[in-house]
Structure 1
Amino acid sequence: MTIGSPKSGKEKKSRKSKQVVEEKVPLLPSKKEEDVGFDEFNGASFTGAVFNLSTTIVGAGIMALPATMKVLGLVLGIAMIIFVAFLTEASIEMLLRFSRVGNTTSYGGVMGDAFGKCGRIFLQICVLVNNIGVLIVYMIIIGDVLSGTTSSGIHHAGVLEGWFGESWWNGHTFVLLITTLFVFAPLACLKRIDSLKFTSALSVALAVVFLVVTVGITVTKLINGSISMPRLLPDITDLTSFLNLFTAVPVLVTAYICHYNVHSIDNELEDNTQIKAVVRSSLALCSTVYVMTSLFGFLLFGDETLDDVLSNFDADLGIPYGSLLNDIVRVSYAAHLMLVFPIVFYPLRLNLDGLFFPSAMPLALDNLRFTLISSGLLTLVFVGANFIPSIWDAFQFTGATAAVCLGFIFPAAITLRDRHSIATKKDKILCIFMIVLAVFSNVVAIYSDAYALFKKNGSSRKDTRLGNRNILLFASSGTIGDSGMDGKDEKRERDELAESLNDLSTSFSTMIKADLQGTNNILELMEKMNLSVAEEYKSFGGVVSGLRVFVEQLKSKSGSFDEYVQQIDAIEQQVTELEAVISMLDKYVYLLESKLHHFYQVSPL
């Protein structure tokens, strides 16, 4: 039976009210059961269902799509967005088709029908991992946008901080606490997903605001001639660059994940034969928003497009009222995520209840259980967003994997299992393709993320070692110390400096003897010396990066006067330390030259 196959009202009602026992107990209450507590509810409208499903789809993923254009190029990138939309529609169609024939009313019910209790539990765990990770990331982004964030020692002012200055009430934790109590909690208390249709409509409108602003800025810069021709095709030079293309697939798949809410929306529809049209309309709307955002976002920023395009709106746009437009984009995006939060929270609560209370009465009819689960999950997400420092790295792996399973692997596995013998040969071929694409791309993406993460951690450790070594150099050269020291302290410092320089001279002499014994080639010796000096200059990368970020902030004219003063003081300190290292390197060169002449008795060229 297909999604849109016509059915009589009697058949439709009986499907909604049929009870399934034991391992097939649905996570979602049937409409008849829900109507016991909501006598005035006559079913959700088509428009409300489209807005709710569209809001489920358009979450934070929209901000990552322009960066995929940098990997895939405009032509292949836009083609992949449309292609994944068709794959998503096919996977949802399979889910609903098997839920019809199996007489189940939830995603977990379909998995339980195909793979038994273990399949249902595995599905519920994946929904928990995916949705908890997504909600924590949403809350982190909201806090960063409104309150600011500090990265690599550089503070990026939030919207509230930029408007009102730094204060206790616009701090990260307090802002998230107020948002949780007065936005998330009231919306999370709604027991029907259809009750969120108005907030979902506003959420979609805010995503369109971001799109309109991006299009307007891009068109303005196109007229000014300040936008270069974007890359149309991917830059493939070797096997590594080819495999890198597959890292974009999990991003695209995650951008379309909505499968965990499809049954909730279907169960509340006044006419459930409309679900196929609801899915297609939502995917068409979201695909249009995705294509336009990717196109104009990549046109606007080109190869400078960051992984999160919102970060590109933290600098000078080079147009009039650029600062105002930046604030509009950031505020609208934060508000958009606030309204997406409850639509993702709804299936999280249902699946947690289905995992721990599979045989209990419907959650909507048990106020105590509903309240405890809702408040517990909100607390967990709040704590995760504020007090777990490495949560982002963890969900780079678990979240992406769970999303791909929910979107492609589980629907394909249900179809290949074909417990009711309704799958066609075409369905099975498509399912095999979906599983192969999902598994291969996810393995490549996880490998790339792991490699980048380990490389980043290795670089951090190396930078730490270089920083510690430079601090020792500064201390030995007298640049770091108490300016109020007495004569005895000064004498002790001079003695320590002389001893340090003597030790340094001895170590270089030993190094030269060991590495270059038996050669009198002055050019070779000087080359070795230059390499040694150049190695020391690598530690300047952090200082240069900090200066570059500060210059960008000055260009964008963002931040308060106090922040500028603090950053200027920090830069002065960095310049002082830089001069100390340069002075120390000059001493290195002098010592090396002296020791070369001393050991090898050669005349300078």
Structure 2
Amino acid sequence: MNKCVENLTIQAGDGHRPNREDEDETPLLTQVVGVSRGASFTSSVFNLMNAIMGSGILGLAYAMANTGIVGFSILLLLVSSFAAYSIHLLLMLCDQTGMTSYEGLGEKAFNKTGKVLVACSILIQNIGAMASYMFILKSELPATILSFLRTEASGVWYEDGAILSVLVTLCVVLPLALLPKIGFLGYTSSLSFFLMLFFAAVVVVKKWSIPCPLPINATLSQVSNSSALDCSVHLFVFSSKSAYAVPTMAFSFLCHTAVMPIYSELQQPSKYRMQNVANVSISLSFLVYLVSALFGYLTFYAQVDSELLLGYDAYLPHDVLMMSVRLAILLAVLLTVPLIHFPARKAILMLFHAEREFSWFSHCVSTVLILTLVELLAIYVPDIRHVFGVVGSTTSTCLIFVYPGLFYLRLSTDHIRSCTSVWAIVLMVFGVLVGLLSLAVIIISWVNAY
């Protein structure tokens, strides 16, 4: 029983020290990866946090409004714990097989079928992530421009988020994404965590700047009078909208495709050391997510928007601090989209152009096709929660819960009744059930709405 508990807690903060076996793994990993180590523990934590934190932070307040404070906290803790444990399984498989990529583990487990399955999941996940970022840009950029100009909406072209999104894609995102190497943008990624901290701090501060009951005539969406006057806090909420909660959380904690590259560059790499990197990164992200969701919910209550920043537009249109937050989020989005595009293009080229040498034609065509699809999703999807819900309930749950458990059961030599195998089954079953249930409820809600 103690061994089971130790495995479940993933050696987090229990004073455990690397044993001889862990120390002996370092030379083997060095031989397998064949690269020099220079990344410190702290820099690795920030790298993984940059992979974790993204647009999902804007949808968590909406998830809390539809699950309740206690319900949301329990679900967020459960998802983050399972995310950490699935990383534990991936690290074990990485050392056992010598693979250094998620696609490699899929190929090792199920040959080409597994590799294609993982590549397709990564492609869909990254397209969904880029679409969510461009949706934020489409929603926030017009309001940001109007805030700086200090003018009211008058129907001019720069108030159309779709037009601005296309222009930014053509003038900024496309040229950067077309580069064969985009490593220099990696230097800006360290800013993302501090931008998210800034966002969370502003959400906390602005909770006391917006009164409750909320002014009905200032709301952005059509709500009832009772909803506008409702300032009560709900501990548990159950409705059809609750189905978006876990997929949004899964979308928000997905970092598993970055774990093995960070592991391979870690100083003195071992499962214990990399697991601590993951535990610290997920714990800090959990705190930022919880604080921003809690105070976002306590600001707007039942009227909280599925994209949190939209809720501030009507009440604080020319607030300097909110203008700074919008700029920070837009900057993070603008610099992140080209970076997310690269693994998506890598996946699509691997599926259709795997055995050929580099071709500028294939490179450019795949780039344009991906960005076109992203733009269509960002423009025509009416609500960002649909992106979080569909992508989160399918590819996110697979990459976080289903694949790590399935690959471990396929590749590990442990007995099926061993503690680790049992938890791998629990992880896999949780992912399948949550994904199918959430997707079914989301589809039913769409059918009823139309």
Pairwise same-fold verdict (TM > 0.5): yes
Q: How does 1:187-266 map to 2 (within 5 A)?
A: 189=179, 191=181, 196-219=185-208, 230-235=232-237, 241=239, 245-266=242-263
The equivalent position to 2:66 in structure 1, one of 49, 67, 71, is: 71
Unaligned runs of 5+ in 1: 18-30, 33-41, 148-157, 361-365, 458-605
1:455 aligns with 2:436: no
Deviations, residues 511-554 of structure 1 (Å, cap 9, x unaligned):
xxxxxxxxxxxxxxxxxxxxxxxxxxxxxxxxxxxxxxxxxxxx
Match of 1:334 among 318, 330, 344: 330
Q: What does residue 425 of structure 1 align with?
A: 418
1:118-133 aligned at under 5 Å gives the runs: 118-133=113-128
Alpha-carbon distance in 1 for matches of 2:38, 2:56: 30
Cα separation, 2, equivalents of 1:136 and 1:246:
20
3-state DSSP class of the match of 1:6? helix
How far apart, in 1, do the equivalents of 2:347 and 2:393 lie? 19
Match of 2:405 among 409, 412, 427: 412
Task: Please give the secondary structure, in 2, of the residue aligned with 1:72.
Answer: coil
- Decide which moves more: 106-115 or 376-385: 376-385
- What amino acid sits opposite 2:306 in the alignment? D
TM-score (structure 2 length as normaliser): 0.79
The alpha-carbon distance between structure 1 residues 177 and 284, as it changes in their structure 2 partners (threshold 3 A), is same
Equivalent residue, structure 2, for 1:441: 434
1:146 maps onto 2:135 in alignment: no
Please show how residues 554-565 of structure 1 align to structure 2 within 5 Å.
Answer: none
Aligned residue for 1:117?
Answer: 112
Post-superposition Cα deviations, 1:439-486, rounded to whole Å, max 9, x if no partner, equal 2222222222212212222xxxxxxxxxxxxxxxxxxxxxxxxxxxxx
Amino acid at match of 2:109: A
**Equivalent residue for 1:278?**
277
Q: How far has the Cα of 1:167 moved from its partner?
A: 5.2
User: Deviation of residue 296 (structure 1)?
Assistant: 0.9
Instruction: State the one-letter code of the partner of 1:111.
Output: G
The percentage of aligned residue pairs carrying the same residue is 24
> Structure 1 pair 257/398, CA: closer, same or farther in 2 (3 Å)?
closer
> CA separation of 1:343/1:265 partners in 2, compared to 1, >3 Å: closer, same or farther?
farther
- Structure scoring higher RCO (CA < 8 A, sep ≥ 6) equals 2
Residues 76, 234 of structure 1: 8 Å contact kept: yes
Whole-angstrom CA distance in 1 between matches of 2:281 and 2:134: 25
Q: Is the 8 A contact 1:124 1:352 kept in 2?
A: yes
Q: Which residue of 2 aligns with 1:352?
A: 348
SS of the equivalent of 1:231 reads coil
> 1 CA distance for matches of 2:246 and 2:109?
27
Is the alpha carbon distance of 1:174 and 1:313 closer, same or farther for their aligned partners in structure 2, counting shifts above 3 Å? closer
In the TM superposition, residue 192 of structure 1 has moved relative to its aligned partner by: 7.5
How many residue pairs get aligned? The number is 409
8 Å CA contact retained: 1:74, 1:295: yes
Q: How far off is 1:108 after superposition?
A: 0.9
Provide the secondary structure at the position in 2 that maps to 1:44.
Answer: coil
| 1:330-409 matches, cutoff 5 A | 330-359=326-355, 368-369=358-359, 375-387=364-376, 390=380, 396-397=389-390, 400-409=393-402
Note the C-alpha offset of 1:66. Answer: 0.9
C-alpha contact (below 8 Å) 1:127/1:402 kept by paired residues:
yes
User: 1:75: how far off?
Assistant: 1.8
Change (3 A) 1:421 1:432: closer
Distance in 1 of aligned mates of 2:79 and 2:48: 17
Note if contact 1:137-1:392 (Cα within 8 Å) is conserved in structure 2: no
Between the aligned partners of 1:385 and 1:402, the Cα distance in structure 2 is 16
Partner of 2:218 in structure 1? none
Q: CA deviation at 1:255?
A: 1.1
Give unpaired runs (5+ residues) of structure 2: 1-6, 12-17, 216-228
One-letter code aligned to 1:334 = L
Q: Aligned equivalents of 2:444 and 2:425: distance in 1? A: 28
TM-score by length of 1: 0.60
1:536-579 deviation line (CA, Å, top 9, x unaligned):
xxxxxxxxxxxxxxxxxxxxxxxxxxxxxxxxxxxxxxxxxxxx
Deviation at 1:143, TM superposition (A): 2.4
Question: Following TM superposition, by how much is the alpha carbon of 1:277 offset from its aligned partner in structure 2, in angstroms?
Answer: 2.6
C-alpha distance in 1 between matches for 2:370 and 2:139: 16
Deviations 1:483-530 (A, max 9, x none): xxxxxxxxxxxxxxxxxxxxxxxxxxxxxxxxxxxxxxxxxxxxxxxx
Match of 1:163 in 2: 148
Contact 1:204 1:336 in 2 (8 A): no
Mapped to 2, the partners of 1:231 and 1:375 lie a distance apart of 51
Distance in 2 (alpha carbons) for counterparts of 1:288 and 1:435 = 26
Larger radius of gyration: 1
Question: In 2, Cα distance between the equivalents of 1:230 and 1:416?
Answer: 46
Give the residue type in structure 2 aligned to 1:12: L
- What CA distance in whole angstroms lies between the structure 2 residues aligned with 1:96 and 1:244? 35
Instruction: Identify which of 167, 173, 195 aligns with 1:177.
Output: 167
Answer yes or no: is the 8 Å Cα contact 1:135–1:341 preserved in 2: yes
Over 3 Å counting, the alpha-carbon distance change for 1:299 and 1:124 in structure 2 is same
Which residue, 303, 307, 319 being the options, matches 1:323?
319
- Secondary structure of residue in 1 paired with 2:310: helix
Distance 1:71 1:386, change over 3 A: closer
Whether the 8 Å contact between 1:52 and 1:343 is mirrored in structure 2 is no
The SS at the match of 1:309 is coil
CA drift of 1:382 comes to: 3.2
Change (3 A) 1:168 1:109: same
Q: 2:224 matched to which residue of 1? A: none
Residue identity opposite 2:50 in structure 1:
T
Contact 2:60 2:293 in 1 (8 A): yes
CA deviations on 1:315-339 (whole Å, 9 max, x unpaired) are 115xxx8633432332222222223
User: Which position in structure 2 is the counterpart of 1:492?
Assistant: none
Give the aligned partner of residue 567 of structure 1.
none
CA contact (8 A) 1:230 1:298 kept: no
- Contact preservation (8 Å) 2:243, 2:442: no
